Structure 1
């Protein structure tokens, strides 16, 4: 009966597969058309986004007057250094009223550029900026500005995609106009100056564009290798899209790997269907032979289970269990011969990033290839095992420190060689390694493994691609960290984490507007421990949630004693992404009956980078409670206008590293002034951190900051000291009035 059953199943499967293939082909064609339309639209929207991004920089009375005066030094600092460094533009030009270039700058080389080198290819964009009504097809962005004395004017910005020196780029041409509501010397009918900004559509932008829409390995034709493997450029599923200017000139061609989801689905279904047919066909045969083979199968399965329990299923190397069984025997062998035994631990750095970028299948292929490369390096009578993740262990009898160091560095070099995997995928990896030598570094297997692991951790922390040997200091560091962790857990359990407060002052320095709550810890044995040490440790060990809730509760309870000022509390990335800050804040507000509108939650940019969607959800939830949200330490990490546009922050806190230049010569304060201007344009409360001198206070007051914080006014103090501080300032203000 087997043959008829199989024949019937195959015939049925053929009919089903034919229908699936026809539908899949049509679905793929529709999907490809939508992909091309999406890409063209996305690039156009990128230009409009850049045009809007430049609007605060070109509707500014200072920029209008400095540009009109042809202040080259100012243009060098603002248009060159600020726009080039903070906003990432690759070329910048300024044209006068007659479209003659008066300034050009390349932020990468910090050199000037000749506008004439562009060969007039931007003339149409210049005309569109001058006469937007006559060139409406360029979709100019027009902003009406009300000037002083009842006058008004229009700010115009146009954008398009162009090929600049062989590199696809987005070009924005924008008029330079004064602020609304300001009286400036601007004659009726006088043409404004123009800012021309060029931003390359480089590999990073292209890769992000592909990632955003799920288009794998997107790159420009002729771009440098590394985005799309060369072996895939001729593949049948490679798709291209020509990108044109508004006038129809070719900018370049985008290439990407067109995944065909419908066909992939069919390919995945077919094995299952075939397997089902085979299973049905063989069922009768298996039932007949099962009894005869049953006893033999039991014996084989028992042996297989023993082997599988000691073998890594992916690389087929011995696993941790096998290593623990064999290492003591190898140690006894070397001790009998009075010989040495080297224990090496090698780990692939940032292996999770490989899985995230290429998928777990590629990650598994890298691990298998690594096991083969390391196996080729093994000396005689050596053992290699995979512990877990991307960590491998080599046990090498007879190797002293010099030979072990050489072997570990050879392993690092082997892993650094590019991995050419199936389909032509190229993967690059680095590794760290540490080693210990028995019996010098330990006589037991577990002890040698632990100390080799300490050396590996030290190598990773140092960020050097070379092996490190175990030293006694590493044991001391591990012991101290363990002691610190235990003490921190006890402090959290006992509630001995203290809370200090630093005032937020108005710009005169006379009135207290709020306080920031700061966690502090002093252990009876270890003494005072810096927040820069115990806060990261709290995040690693998971106790940051308890610390955060304790600081919040203490701050709100103390804050009820100061009814006329706000209370600010910091929240870490771990609290946002591994807990529910909204629920915690809601519970503590209800518990303490503290007014939500007086609470400020401060976040750093690292919170936004880890999981933007989660961070946005938590921020909106906090604001729905009535709580204000501030962006702390602005400028220290990946500061970007995009964060300020996408997230509805209430306050912007400028990092202390920028405040050091406040009051210095003008050239050194251009960026600080621009950040303050940016915050004002976005209607944010602006706080300057780290104010230490009266000169800095006066400059920040004149520049338009709203709040100041720093040692000029007070160090962090206890709640009782803060109460006295507030009373003292209230008395002084009463006397002064």
Structure 2
């Protein structure tokens, strides 16, 4: 059945015939015009190239003729036989012998100022005035040229032996000649003229290297397929031309073009006929595919479920329907727990299989009127219809938890996942699509923060909490930019509890409206909203600035795993340290196991580079997670810090005391500094000191205090440094 709005296949085929015929004719005309223009352009370019090459060859021949004539004139000048008075015997001997070394077609004459022949040679034999007179017409112009040139250049070459020369290609009505004339020297009034006939052999020698055909002299430049160059007229018989037969590319192109155009025309006609024959079937297929595209546009290709677009349309339809009845509905947003771990461990093929398994299990839990959609990744959504009581939605949520916590068989093994579910009810929570989807997402956020693998129904306080988090985020961003945060420092003592060896920097936020906001509240928001990078840089920068007041003390700064994953983390740290102008060995970065567990290779590279620059590294909260001897041996730690939780239970449980004892001895065996934090009683102090713990930190010695309080602990007066106080 055709898609609405599409014409029938027969109608379309008929409408295509005449436009296609006109298009084919236009293509042929355009193709012919293009080929004609291309061939003409190529012919013109080829003829210009041939003309340039012939001109260059003739110029080379003229120059060669002049150079040979000058060589002969130089011989006369050196023999001093042509200076007044002329030595007839010597000049004749030189003229005759030298001319014999030239081609036998040459004619050479030694002329006086009135063009009278003093001596001459034609083809190697001695020639006289009558021989010159027979050829004078070809020598007049070049002799005149050289004498005028000699007069014009005389002031420039006064006192120097310089010759003037001229050369031309002329014709006498029957033949073309290369003629040249040159002075013997500026001390002699005589000139030497010479001519070489451009006969068929000479023209062939020119044409051969140039690849020309039929280079010849002609009296007219009539129509011919080739090039032509005018030759100077030495008589009054009219112009003459050197012409040749050009090898024009158009001849080959036109023959090929006609064949190609004919082939194109036949192929085009055949192609057009094929199109017209198949157009009806293609249009039928197009209608079918259009229906398929309309269906796929609203479905997820991997799971076959409706996508976000179709989910929104279905939700609008259901909301419009329940407005006319007493029914309700539930919108559920689902986020799979540990799906990323499956992808990372077993590969994307396993992840795709898991998505299809989840889609199948969820579909089996729903009724025909319900809608299950996949938004992408590990996110699903459900419209549960006919919800008369919130307990209906709760029952479905429980069934979903039970179904998705069952093991799934994927390529590579069996996996177990969980799911977090956020639920919003209509009409209780809202009657608009955008509102319900936003509230379901808010409830999902609460479920994930509550421990995952659970469901949460939207409650008004969730929206308020989300709004407050946004306010805190905006205020924190502004506080970082305005430098409104503060650092407090908790001293770290030697085991004797008497000497301060370092301080740990702890950020504080005195909010102008809400007072002091605990770090555990805004640090999590900073990590979630991308503010941990500027916050961490602010803390390190401020700590390094304060450290200049306390020479000799180490400054410990906590670093988030998110910071450590930044490509420019090391360069950023070193830039801050160098700007503060403090020794990098005084800076100690405290990291948790999350840094090394997320990307061990990248973490190791960064740690090695930091240590190479002198920065110290401490493993914080040691013993609370998956800390192992492998981590301590592989990564470049300088210190381990025993978590305060062990000290809190040490006095009541023997296991904690044994564990602390083991950690201290392990650290010492590996050559690491061992610091215990959270020391609050004298008994803890004495126990840790007896175990060999290197450093202690806790409320027994000092709580975190502002920088001014550290000054007082060190006995530093305001405005001075520790070095000044000691001095």
The TM-score, its normalising length taken from structure 2, stands at 0.58
* CA distances 1:388-439 after superposition (whole Å, capped 9, x unpaired): 2222222133212122222222233332344345x79544332232322211
1:351-362 alignment runs, 5 A limit? 351-362=339-350
1:346–1:408 CA contact under 8 A, matched in 2: no
Q: Is 1:552 aligned to residue 537 of structure 2?
A: no
2:548–2:721 CA contact under 8 A, matched in 1: no
Aligned to 2:111: none
Q: Is 1:577 aligned to residue 577 of structure 2?
A: no
| SS of the residue 2:367 aligns to | coil
Aligned to 2:684: 696
Q: Is 1:416 aligned to residue 405 of structure 2?
A: yes
* Aligned counterparts of 1:383 and 1:648: Cα–Cα separation in 2: 53
1:662–1:700 CA contact under 8 A, matched in 2: no
* Aligned counterparts of 1:394 and 1:502: Cα–Cα separation in 2: 51
Which range moved further: 297-306 or 427-436? Answer: 297-306
Change (3 A) 1:507 1:313: same
CA drift of 1:328 comes to 1.7
Q: Is 1:721 aligned to residue 719 of structure 2?
A: no
| SS of the residue 1:442 aligns to | coil
* CA distances 1:623-681 after superposition (whole Å, capped 9, x unpaired): 01111111112111112111111123112222122334678898763322222122221
Q: 1:315 aligns with which of 303, 308, 316?
A: 303
2:664–2:692 CA contact under 8 A, matched in 1: yes
| SS of the residue 2:462 aligns to | helix
| SS of the residue 1:534 aligns to | helix
Aligned to 1:407: 396
Aligned to 2:552: 564
Change (3 A) 1:656 1:464: closer
Q: Is 1:543 aligned to residue 531 of structure 2?
A: yes
Q: Which one has the largest radius of gyration?
A: 2
1:408–1:434 CA contact under 8 A, matched in 2: no
Q: Is 1:650 aligned to residue 631 of structure 2?
A: no
Gaps of 5+ in 2: 1-270
* Aligned counterparts of 2:384 and 2:660: Cα–Cα separation in 1: 58
CA drift of 1:596 comes to 1.0
Aligned to 1:621: 609
| SS of the residue 1:629 aligns to | strand
Q: 2:503 aligns with which of 487, 495, 515?
A: 515
2:473–2:525 CA contact under 8 A, matched in 1: yes
CA drift of 1:541 comes to 1.3
| SS of the residue 2:620 aligns to | strand
CA drift of 1:499 comes to 1.3
2:421–2:443 CA contact under 8 A, matched in 1: yes
CA drift of 1:593 comes to 1.2
1:545–1:579 CA contact under 8 A, matched in 2: no
| SS of the residue 1:499 aligns to | strand
Change (3 A) 1:529 1:579: farther
Which range moved further: 561-570 or 397-406? Answer: 397-406
CA drift of 1:292 comes to 6.1
| SS of the residue 2:421 aligns to | strand
Aligned to 2:695: 707
Gaps of 5+ in 1: 1-282
1:580–1:618 CA contact under 8 A, matched in 2: no
Which range moved further: 447-456 or 496-505? Answer: 447-456
* Aligned counterparts of 2:500 and 2:419: Cα–Cα separation in 1: 52
* CA distances 1:89-110 after superposition (whole Å, capped 9, x unpaired): xxxxxxxxxxxxxxxxxxxxxx
CA drift of 1:361 comes to 1.6
| SS of the residue 1:695 aligns to | helix
* Aligned counterparts of 1:417 and 1:679: Cα–Cα separation in 2: 42
* Aligned counterparts of 1:285 and 1:449: Cα–Cα separation in 2: 54
1:265-280 alignment runs, 5 A limit? none
* CA distances 1:358-411 after superposition (whole Å, capped 9, x unpaired): 221222122223223322333343222112222222213321212222222223
- How large is the Cα RMSD of the aligned pairs? 3.3
* Aligned counterparts of 1:346 and 1:317: Cα–Cα separation in 2: 14
| SS of the residue 2:372 aligns to | strand
CA drift of 1:546 comes to 0.6
Q: 1:330 aligns with which of 313, 318, 336?
A: 318
Change (3 A) 1:693 1:328: same
1:376-455 alignment runs, 5 A limit? 376-400=364-388, 401-420=390-409, 425-455=413-443
Change (3 A) 1:647 1:412: same
* Aligned counterparts of 2:577 and 2:281: Cα–Cα separation in 1: 70
Aligned to 2:354: 366
* CA distances 1:297-344 after superposition (whole Å, capped 9, x unpaired): 665565544433322111222211112223222111110123212222
2:333–2:423 CA contact under 8 A, matched in 1: yes
Change (3 A) 1:604 1:290: farther
2:346–2:412 CA contact under 8 A, matched in 1: no
Aligned length, in residue pairs: 453
Change (3 A) 1:691 1:415: closer
Change (3 A) 1:495 1:306: farther
